[in-house]
Structure 1
Amino acid sequence: MGSFKAAAVQMRSGTSPERNAADMERLVREAASRGATYVQTPEMTGALVRDKQAGAAAFTTEDKDIVVSTARKLAKELGIFLHVGSTAILRADGKLANRAFLFAPDGATVANYDKIHMFDVDLDNGESWRESASYEPGKEAVVTAIDGARLGFAVCYDLRFPQLFRSEAMAGADVLSVPAAFTRQTGEAHWHVLLRARAIENGAYVVAAAQGGLHEDGRETYGHSLIVDPWGRVLAEAAHDEPGVIVAEIDPAQSVAARRKIPNLKNARDFTVNAGEAEAPRLRGAAS
């Protein structure tokens, strides 16, 4: 089980998939030139488009998507695992999926993952988001092999649901991915602490490529892409919201070591909740 270099690509995606694909290509090439063999891009790499009509014009099916085709070509040319954090894909039923893709060094699709948890919130600065109005949530967690490690998938708001990451860790994931487009408000409050917590509680690396800055559609994202080790230490950070690349060494043996020191995955026990006279809560998303 050897070590390898992972990169997180920070972007400021606009409304044009063609421009975003070109920006992605430039940054992925930079990451590969720095020795990264696993490269992750942020959530909504293809386009950040808040207006529904504009989104309908920008988003297309997987076979016609320029980010998908560009990423596939780059993975094969550069001989890397290229993880498109997500892009909007038009499904056969006419609905949209917020979908991640992992391409192998031969250009083949290793896995895809549809974001499970929809960002439906009202923030106290007046921001309001209803992701479920545009996207169909996924129903399946995904873990797959990369470079001698096991990668677990998530996208942005999934970060707030620790049971997803616990389930993936129990399925063997020693690297957890959190490509994101965190708002500036929520990012300033919670981004670092949640990413470090997911790493610590699962004894796993966390790679989180982020969107950053003021976007064409008016939203503002936090940036600060991170790579965190299984002990919760920040190995690399883009300490700003500008586009760029961060790189860090991933050694799966460090995940094994962390889990030996704190064997909470092994020590986990099933339990029920005694709520007294109140109705017992329905457990959702718990690992079986």
Structure 2
Amino acid sequence: MTARPTRLYDREASRPSDDGRTRSAIRTPSDKMRELKRELQKKRRFASDASHELRTAVAGLRVQLEEASLHPDETDVGDLLARALREIDRLNAIITDLRLLAEMEAGPPIKPQPVDLAGLVRDEIAHRTDRIAVLVRLEPTVTVQAIPIRIGRLLTNLLDNAQRHGRHLVEIRVRRDGDHAELTVTDDGDGVAESERERIFQRFTRLKAARHLDHAGTGLGLAIARDIAQAHAGSLHAGESDTGGARFVLRLPLADPAATAATAGRSAGRNPQEVTDS
């Protein structure tokens, strides 16, 4: 990471406040150095966690192959290949997620554009084959300035999580809330304990229930989703749904009115499960 030139006084700190007094907050070289050290420690910890996850997956695959090599007559080749392929899929998922995180930290390679959240939801639902039918409640022409592929990935991660934990219900809602767009994904599973609702957004964090339901998960899906939200000047947090399951709330700034007008009238045919909020 290339550090910006150190300044003795932050521009914002030296600007007079509303009552005419100069702000007292001063950013010294020591402050900047501490900030850089924290960022370096964070990157080192992430690199350590990532290498641990990759080594674990490789070690599991190696143990299976070595066991088969030592006892070929006792090995079910079909079962061995199935388990090996699952481990390879897990490795591929980890590598894909790590690459996405690296791309995001390097900066967006694609220029943001007006995105109709309702249309994005319909497109995502159309190409999925889910265990639980998704109920959608969409307010029309809720437009944000965003990178479509990134917001699509965020939605995919939230839906994958809801499908993993839900029993009979997964719902997506899109609406305006003041000067923000709000997208919520809820399920009727066991939910997330209040004490764990921030921890689940940490990289490589997998709660016991998630490990039980999906052994191949990477522990990066929700972390990536929050990183994408924050990269778009938005937020993502977890709460409790009306059914007692999990409720994930994404909030993004609305696009300017001209962008909203440009996306109006582009909505596709509605899914029979869709309820449009007016």
Q: Does the alignment reach a TM-score above 0.5?
A: no
**Would you tell me which structure has more helix in proportion to its own residues?**
2
Q: When the two structures are superposed, what TM-score results if normalisation uses the length of structure 1?
A: 0.21
Q: When the two structures are superposed, what TM-score results if normalisation uses the length of structure 2?
A: 0.22
**Would you tell me which structure has more strand in proportion to its own residues?**
1
